[in-house]
Amino acid sequence: MQGWRSNMEDAHTAILKLSAKKGYSYFGVYDGHSGQNAAKYTGNHLHVRISKDGTFEADLTTAIQNGFLATDDDLKNDPQFQNDPSGCTAVMAIVTPYNEIYVGNAGDSRAVLSEDGIAFPMSHDHKPVNEAESKRIMNAGGFIEFERVNGNLAVCRALGDFEFKRNKNLHAKDQIITAFPDVQKREIKFESTEFLVLACDGIWECLSSQDVVSFIRKCISENKDLHKTCEDLMERCLAKGGELDGIGYDNMTVIIVGFLHNKTEKEWYEWMAKRYGEIGPEYKDDVF
């Protein structure tokens, strides 16, 4: 959803069958800033870089880390994007045939699991005020002003943003802004792990992780499919005015991944609808 912004700078990827990787699925949300080029490029290439990394089968965490840095390097060296100021956060998930979820994150987009209706974080936001992040920023020659990197960026990990990655004496992981992701792994628990939400900060600025999980479960209990649920969630977070800044005015992108647990899609919706109100907290609206 473009929201009230003049341009849509987000991108996303959803691949149920990752090419040449039997049984793997890939999902990603990319929140662009200062233009849409970095987000669009990342959406088209990050999953390819990760899946083709030589460590993919043996060490998926390393493959994800390598894929982020390689995609960032490809973007920097692409003649089409010379002097392009854009950047993007990236949160992605790979579901493996071994009932595992791997989430890689750089920035403040977020991944959250619903475990019996309880929000379980699969990423944490990279903000300049975080101690480890601020230490890296200052060690690389940057500063933090108004809770922003060099008084400019509100996030401190991103692809693109190459004006903050010019220190030739430092590794890509140690630059003022880095594309190096945190990676989390979690087992998909039978009859407990309900769904995964990937969304940009336009959602999380408006609702807590638990509120998002509860809102989604409520929508499903009202016989809404995941497509309609995504629409309703974004409408819930959309501000009612027409300004260009503030909570509820940003671009918004959401992906919800349901885990069937050997059920049909119809059976999964029925199972989820029954659980709402019996297991996990109910959604209580609190308009911002």
Strands (E), the chain: 10-15, 25-33, 87-95, 100-106, 110-115, 118-121, 144-145, 148-149, 159-160, 182-187, 193-199, 254-258
Instruction: Look at residue 239 in the predicted model and tell me its pLDDT.
Output: 61
Backbone angles phi, psi at 109, to 5 degrees: -70, 165
31 domain residue, yes or no: yes
148 domain residue, yes or no: no
Residue with tokens 């994800």: 64
288 domain residue, yes or no: no
144 domain residue, yes or no: no
The pLDDT profile of the chain, 288 residues, written as one tens digit per residue, is: 545 454 657 899 999 999 778 899 999 999 999 889 999 999 999 999 999 999 999 999 999 999 999 999 999 999 988 889 999 999 999 999 999 999 999 999 999 999 999 999 999 999 999 999 999 999 999 999 999 999 999 999 999 999 999 999 999 999 999 999 999 999 999 989 999 999 998 899 899 999 999 999 999 999 999 999 999 999 998 867 655 555 555 678 999 999 999 999 999 999 999 999 899 889 887 644
Instruction: Look at residue 19 in the predicted model and tell me its pLDDT.
Output: 77
255 domain residue, yes or no: yes
Considering its fold, how many domains does the chain have in total?
1
15 domain residue, yes or no: yes
228 domain residue, yes or no: yes
Closest residue by Cα to residue 64 from 75, 74, 51, 45: 51
Are 193 and 131 within 8 A, CB to CB?
no
Q: Which range marks the domain in which residue 77 is found?
A: 10-126+181-275
Dihedral sign from CA coordinates of 132, 156, 113, 20: negative
245 domain residue, yes or no: yes
Q: Say how far apart CA 196 and CA 119 lie, in whole Å.
A: 9
Return the CATH number at 50: 3.60.40.10
Closest residue by Cα to residue 76 from 167, 162, 157, 155: 162
